Amino acid sequence: MKRKRLGRPNVLDDVKQASIVALLSAGCSRRQAAQYVGCAPSTIGYLAGRDRQFAKRLRQAELQTEVRPLTNLMEASGRHWRAAAWLLERQFPQRYGRRQPDLMTRGEFRDALGMLSETLSEMLPTAQQRLMLRYRLQEVSNAMGHQPRWPLQSPRSNGVARRRCATRRSKRRAVQ
């Protein structure tokens, strides 16, 4: 004698599960697949959490929708330079991505900051002022995630300039 299951029957039987997997592999979203089979999108996620086989089939179907266009794009990049350029722009945006003409690269920023440092250093009368300027510009460069090309003159003087700079900053804050 077969035991009768108690509780609510499964909303997603084997036929509906197969339909969901087929829809996902065709490019539909989980929401669209749920709407097609007549369930809530959360039901698909809930069943995937309980049924490892179903979860595996869902992952494979979703990955298949990504792999197919990428394969087509890779094949097209061998024949069409625009497809290759588009692919490079998306895979390596730092090197091949479009930049706005008024933006600087890290190297351009570092070079401009070095030129600014040299120009302003020539205008300052004392070595202490020049060192403090370089230290402040180095702080700006570090805050932007860059390492400046110019070295500070000596570790000892660097500490002195840092303390003096910090003291002046705290005095300015106290005045404001």
pLDDT at 153: 45
pLDDT at 31: 95
pLDDT, tens digit, for every residue of 3-40?
Answer: 666 777 778 899 999 999 999 999 899 999 999 999 99
47's enclosing H/E stretch is helix 41-50
pLDDT, tens digit, for every residue of 46-61?
Answer: 999 999 999 999 999 9
Average pLDDT score, the chain: 80
SS3 125: coil
- DSSP class of residue 99 equals -
- pLDDT at residue 157 above 60? no
pLDDT at 3: 66
Question: How far apart (Å, rounded) are the C-alpha atoms in residues 65 and 53?
Answer: 19
Sequence-ordered list of residues with C-beta below 8 angstroms from that of 111, at least 6 positions apart, any chain: 149
Higher pLDDT, 150 or 56: 56
Which tokens hold the place of 53? 């086989």
Output phi, psi for 80, to 5 deg.
-125, 125
Of 1-10, 46-55, 67-76, 86-95, least confident by mean pLDDT is 1-10
Q: Per the confidence metrics, is the pTM higher than 0.95?
A: no
pLDDT at 164: 57
pLDDT at 43: 93
Which tokens hold the place of 31? 């929401």
Question: How far apart (Å, rounded) are the C-alpha atoms in residues 46 and 42?
Answer: 6
Placement of tokens 């003096």 in the chain: 164
pLDDT at 176: 56
